[in-house]
A and B are shown apart, each in its own frame.
Chain A
Amino acid sequence: MSAGKGDIKLDGLVKRYGEVVAVNGIDLDVPGGEFFTMLGPSGCGKTTTLRLIAGFERPDEGEILLDGVDMSRTPPHRRNVNTVFQSYALFPHKTVEENVGFGLRYQKVSKADAARRVGEAMELVRLGGLGHRKPGQLSGGQQQRVALARALVLEPPVLLLDEPLGALDARLRIDLQVELKRIQETLEVTFIYVTHDQDEALTMSDRVAVMRNGNIEQCGPPQELYEEPSTAFVANFLGASNLVPVQAAADGAGGAQLTLGNFTLVAAECAGDLRGDALAMIRPERVRLEPHGTTGENRMPGMVEEVVYLGFHQDVRVRLATGALIRVDVPNDGDAIEYEQGNAVSVHLPPRYLRVLETDEPAPTDQPDAAPAEVS
């Protein structure tokens, strides 16, 4: 719908605030029309990166290329990207229509054309009939739509979204996630989306970059990040993970032998050539609980320490004989075996679901959902 394709390329982008390095040399290639998400906890540099692309901050080093042209020294009002703010940033003294039409004044558009485009943008976000209201008279979800229409009416090749759903309640959030994805696919605009909510990232994105301390920790399609996290941090930030410290040794067949106390586990695959201290990682929903006494490969005895009933599944925490705690998701399929505190069980960690990761120096955050609002 616009001249450029909307390719964004970041090349060695660095931003420092005094001693603090907010963005630490990011390289990124986002092809036009992609829904790209930057995911990470507060202070990981995702918002700063977005603000650098928008032009609100000046990078200390590096280039920002839009369709091959460096725009890192272009002031924000001359950049062909638009932003949807977390706070919506609607102009309170202007009506919804005036808000949506604000940017058209700076494009060579006739009055009739402008009115038509404002109407179309409002239809696109399903806001027809609210044009004469002031933003203060709208609900949070409606304000969010106005902010979206105001940016989309300019037909930017790239739209930047800074936690646009952060201030909405859970139900509305899910509705708008679906709608954002619909709009993005209809218009084929590049979306660069910042969030700390893993569900949002998984639901909508073509690709996700998990960020930490100003760096991209891992970047790929949601499925790849979830199935094959390359670091303990990513494993923990996207979904829940069991991370058990082990001694790793190559088994000569592409996999690894993991020593955990007196037990030896087998992992079917082992990326890299990990030896010595490592972390065995497995998703809670892939651990199997079997009756006490079951033996075999990758089975270890343990004792149920806690059972949390969560409706659609049970979160069972099992203490292994070695002292490690394993979380197991037992689906509530109607006839699941009930576990109780103190039950002795056998824990089965299927080799193909075990991943071997490097040990992570700082303790990874356990609850990414509980991360406070983005402040960076």
Chain B
Amino acid sequence: MTDTTALERGIGAAPSRARRRRFQWRDPWGHPRGLALVTWIYILWSIVPVLLAIRFAFNSGRSRSAAQGWSLRWFWKDPNLSVFHDPTLSSALQQSLTLAFFAMLIATPLGVALALGLQRWRGPGSGTANVLTLLPLVTPELVFAVGLFLLFTTAFKVIGLGTTAQVIGHVTFSMSFVVVIVRGRLATIGGDLEEAAADLGAPPWDVVRRILVPLLLPAIAASLLIVFALSIDDFVVSQYLASGADTTTVPMRIYAQARAAPTPALNALATIMLTVTLLALGLAYLVFRLMTRGEGGGSAIGQLAGIEAGIDAGGSK
């Protein structure tokens, strides 16, 4: 007893554990171990299922839940059931890539133009338009898809369901992301540079060519890749606007087959998709960093935050 009290007074060589813990809790300069722990638990919780799914893509056996050795059978070795040889899987992959490619090429220029327009438009209505442009970011995708479905089956029957409708759908929802990214960049560029160029004698077209486009390039590159990633991930819009087997995308295929006769080939397909998406996002990030190097910290960081916000919002879609 005497011992403990001495320790509690802090006279002893080592304070009691209770005392130390209390001290840590009160120590605002200490390492935030509790927060770190929670963070790591969350990271494990979100990543482990993905890692497991990837692991079974490399299974030698047919099981998607029991480890049965390692192989590349489900990617291309298996002559009938692999992603490469199963026509339903490879056509889904092809459809997904086609949609992503066109969505990327159409949504980016449109989104850049829209961002420029919104940036410059002052006056009645501009505030409302600003908010409405960003609405697709928060609209439940299901509502959005149902709306588009009605549109293409009634008012725009000429287009009808199918690949074109799917591309239009993807372009529609991904344009908001382009607008967010490009406007962030425009805000950091500011209006002064364009005025300065005009002041030095550059006619309007030269201002665009020599100042605006070079400075927007990082945002344009990032937009291309993010639209690609958004499109290739999409399930709901693709599903609603599909017209049959040849317009089935990878997420649709995986969903359908998971209910019927799943093989590790589905995991292999998902693994391919994940890799492609991660590559696209990683590339977007790198390109942006490289192209905005030497511009002075603040702007580049602000921009990256914008892109990351875009990626985050995309992930929650």
Are A85 and B294 in contact (CB-based, < 8 A)?
A: no
Chain B's interface size range is 20 to 34
Are A91 and B294 in contact (CB-based, < 8 A)?
A: no
Question: How far is B192's CA from A54's CA once the two chains are assembled, in angstroms?
Answer: 13
Are B215 and A92 in contact (CB-based, < 8 A)?
A: yes
Are A150 and B192 in contact (CB-based, < 8 A)?
A: no
- The residues of B that contact A77 with a CB separation of less than 8 Å are 198-204
Question: How far is B201's CA from A151's CA once the two chains are assembled, in angstroms?
Answer: 11
Are A83 and B196 in contact (CB-based, < 8 A)?
A: yes
Question: How far is B294's CA from A107's CA once the two chains are assembled, in angstroms?
Answer: 30
- The residues of A that contact B3 with a CB separation of less than 8 Å are none
Are A91 and B192 in contact (CB-based, < 8 A)?
A: no
Question: How far is B294's CA from A93's CA once the two chains are assembled, in angstroms?
Answer: 9
Question: How far is B203's CA from A79's CA once the two chains are assembled, in angstroms?
Answer: 11
Q: In this assembly, does B295 line the interface, its C-beta being within 8 Å of a C-beta of chain A?
A: yes
Question: How far is B192's CA from A89's CA once the two chains are assembled, in angstroms?
Answer: 6
- The residues of B that contact A85 with a CB separation of less than 8 Å are 192, 195-196
Are A106 and B201 in contact (CB-based, < 8 A)?
A: yes
- The residues of A that contact B215 with a CB separation of less than 8 Å are 91-93
Q: In this assembly, does A134 line the interface, its C-beta being within 8 Å of a C-beta of chain B?
A: yes
Across the interface, name the chain B residue whose C-beta is closest to A56.
Answer: B195
Question: How far is B203's CA from A103's CA once the two chains are assembled, in angstroms?
Answer: 11
- The residues of A that contact B294 with a CB separation of less than 8 Å are 92, 134, 136-137
Q: In this assembly, does B315 line the interface, its C-beta being within 8 Å of a C-beta of chain A?
A: no
Min CB–CB distance A146 → chain B (angstroms): 11
Please, what's the 1-or-0 string for A62-92, where 1 marks a CB less than 8 Å from any CB in chain B? 0000000000000111110111010101111
- The residues of B that contact A353 with a CB separation of less than 8 Å are none
Are B201 and A89 in contact (CB-based, < 8 A)?
A: no
Q: In this assembly, does A13 line the interface, its C-beta being within 8 Å of a C-beta of chain B?
A: no
- Name the contact of B193 in the complex, choosing from A89, A106, A134, A151 (C-beta under 8 A): A89
Are A83 and B197 in contact (CB-based, < 8 A)?
A: no
Question: How far is B203's CA from A78's CA once the two chains are assembled, in angstroms?
Answer: 8
Are B200 and A103 in contact (CB-based, < 8 A)?
A: yes
Question: How far is B201's CA from A93's CA once the two chains are assembled, in angstroms?
Answer: 18
Interface residues of A in 97-127 (CB under 8 A from B): 102-103, 105-107
Q: In this assembly, does A280 line the interface, its C-beta being within 8 Å of a C-beta of chain B?
A: no
- The residues of A that contact B197 with a CB separation of less than 8 Å are 91, 102
Please, what's the 1-or-0 string for A331-364, where 1 marks a CB less than 8 Å from any CB in chain B? 0000000000000000000000000000000000
Question: How far is B201's CA from A204's CA once the two chains are assembled, in angstroms?
Answer: 28
Q: In this assembly, does A154 line the interface, its C-beta being within 8 Å of a C-beta of chain B?
A: yes
- Name the contact of B295 in the complex, choosing from A56, A78, A92, A154 (C-beta under 8 A): A92
Are B214 and A150 in contact (CB-based, < 8 A)?
A: no
Min CB–CB distance A342 → chain B (angstroms): 47
- The residues of A that contact B202 with a CB separation of less than 8 Å are 77, 102-103, 106
Are B296 and A76 in contact (CB-based, < 8 A)?
A: no
- The residues of B that contact A134 with a CB separation of less than 8 Å are 294
Are A154 and B200 in contact (CB-based, < 8 A)?
A: yes
- Name the contact of A103 in the complex, choosing from B195, B201, B211, B299 (C-beta under 8 A): B201
Across the interface, name the chain A residue whose C-beta is closest to B201.
Answer: A106
A-B pair count, CB < 8 Å, reads 72
Please, what's the 1-or-0 string for B201-240, where 1 marks a CB less than 8 Å from any CB in chain A? 1111000001100110000000000000000000000000
Q: In this assembly, does B190 line the interface, its C-beta being within 8 Å of a C-beta of chain A?
A: yes
Across the interface, name the chain A residue whose C-beta is closest to B214.
Answer: A93
Q: A85-B196, A87-B192 are in contact. Are A92 and B296 (CB under 8 A)?
A: yes
Question: How far is B200's CA from A150's CA once the two chains are assembled, in angstroms?
Answer: 8
- The residues of B that contact A87 with a CB separation of less than 8 Å are 190, 192
Interface residues of B in 180-199 (CB under 8 A from A): 190, 192-193, 195-199
- The residues of B that contact A90 with a CB separation of less than 8 Å are 196
Question: How far is B193's CA from A150's CA once the two chains are assembled, in angstroms?
Answer: 13
Question: How far is B210's CA from A257's CA once the two chains are assembled, in angstroms?
Answer: 67
- The residues of A that contact B210 with a CB separation of less than 8 Å are 102
- The residues of A that contact B296 with a CB separation of less than 8 Å are 92, 136
Min CB–CB distance A94 → chain B (angstroms): 9
Across the interface, name the chain A residue whose C-beta is closest to B207.
Answer: A77
- The residues of A that contact B295 with a CB separation of less than 8 Å are 92, 136
- The residues of B that contact A103 with a CB separation of less than 8 Å are 200-202
Question: How far is B193's CA from A90's CA once the two chains are assembled, in angstroms?
Answer: 7
Are B193 and A76 in contact (CB-based, < 8 A)?
A: no
Min CB–CB distance B174 → chain A (angstroms): 27
Across the interface, name the chain A residue whose C-beta is closest to B291.
Answer: A93
- Name the contact of A106 in the complex, choosing from B190, B200, B204 (C-beta under 8 A): B200
Are A91 and B201 in contact (CB-based, < 8 A)?
A: no
Min CB–CB distance B296 → chain A (angstroms): 4
Interface residues of A in 18-58 (CB under 8 A from B): 54-56
Min CB–CB distance A102 → chain B (angstroms): 5
- The residues of A that contact B199 with a CB separation of less than 8 Å are 54-56, 76-77, 79, 81-83, 151
Question: How far is B196's CA from A78's CA once the two chains are assembled, in angstroms?
Answer: 13
Are A107 and B201 in contact (CB-based, < 8 A)?
A: yes
Across the interface, name the chain B residue whose C-beta is closest to A92.
Answer: B295
Question: How far is B203's CA from A194's CA once the two chains are assembled, in angstroms?
Answer: 26
Question: How far is B190's CA from A90's CA once the two chains are assembled, in angstroms?
Answer: 11
Interface residues of B in 288-317 (CB under 8 A from A): 294-296, 299
Question: How far is B210's CA from A347's CA once the two chains are assembled, in angstroms?
Answer: 66
- The residues of A that contact B201 with a CB separation of less than 8 Å are 77-78, 103, 105-107, 154
- The residues of A that contact B190 with a CB separation of less than 8 Å are 87, 89
Across the interface, name the chain A residue whose C-beta is closest to B190.
Answer: A87
Query: What are 20 A-to-B residue pairs whose CB atoms are below 8 Å?
Result: A56-B198, A56-B199, A76-B198, A77-B199, A77-B202, A77-B203, A78-B201, A79-B199, A91-B215, A92-B215, A92-B294, A92-B296, A93-B215, A102-B202, A103-B200, A106-B200, A134-B294, A136-B294, A136-B296, A151-B200
The 3 A-B residue pairs with the shortest CB-CB distance, nearest first, are A103-B200, A106-B201, A89-B196
Interface residue ranges, A against B (CB under 8 Å): 54-56, 75-79, 81-83, 85, 87, 89-93, 102-103, 105-107, 134, 136-137, 150-151, 154
Could you list 12 further interchain pairs (A-B, Cβ under 8 angstroms) beyond the known A81-B199, A83-B195, A102-B200?
Answer: A76-B198, A77-B201, A77-B203, A82-B199, A85-B192, A89-B192, A89-B196, A91-B193, A91-B215, A103-B201, A106-B202, A151-B199
